[in-house]
Chains A and B, each alone.
Chain A
Amino acid sequence: GEDVEQSLFLSVREGDSSVINCTYTDSSSTYLYWYKQEPGAGLQLLTYIFSNMDMKQDQRLTVLLNKKDKHLSLRIADTQTGDSAIYFCAESIRTGTASKLTFGTGTRLQVTL
């Protein structure tokens, strides 16, 4: 299956950490991605993790991958108001010679003062 699920909404206070979760079903994923979408805009790649890694840290972002449970999370440290957006996880699956992305349902992050 190719279902990728996320919780719909998360609200955090400025300065706190945000954790956005994602579950996927296809164990053949090669890469897993986190994208950010601001209102009326396209997608911005935040970070990605290769499927044989458990963790990746990039400045304020930490990605954790539990391949056994097919669970991916994105932690944003010191969340700022500019982090308010919709966050999509996506898995890359190879089909023959091609690979394509399947996106999660998206999590709207609201950062309050």
Chain B
Amino acid sequence: AQSVTQLGSHVSVSEGALVLLRCNYSSSVPPYLFWYVQYPNQGLQLLLKYTTGATLVKGINGFEAEFKKSETSFHLTKPSAHMSDAAEYFCAVIPSGGSYIPTFGRGTSLIVHP
């Protein structure tokens, strides 16, 4: 079965600092990978996705993620954090050739200090 591990339930950064949110997955074949963001009392918004092709994926709001097959990772980064980035971030995986039902990680809460 697919599983998604997000290292760190909380990540705290200063405004302007690099944001790094970690995601590792278990899969015997390269899956489809997603990052979603959830603001308080809202649903999930798609930040970016990897299906095939270029392993460095750029998303909205200046975020990007790199698919590393050898490390089974799909970490999310942003060069400079803004206060408005404070939210819950979820990594999700869909097994390729499967049912297209995503499995979500437990989420990482990003805290941005002024």
Partners in one complex: no
**Interface residue ranges, A against B (CB under 8 Å):** none
**Interface residue ranges, B against A (CB under 8 Å):** none
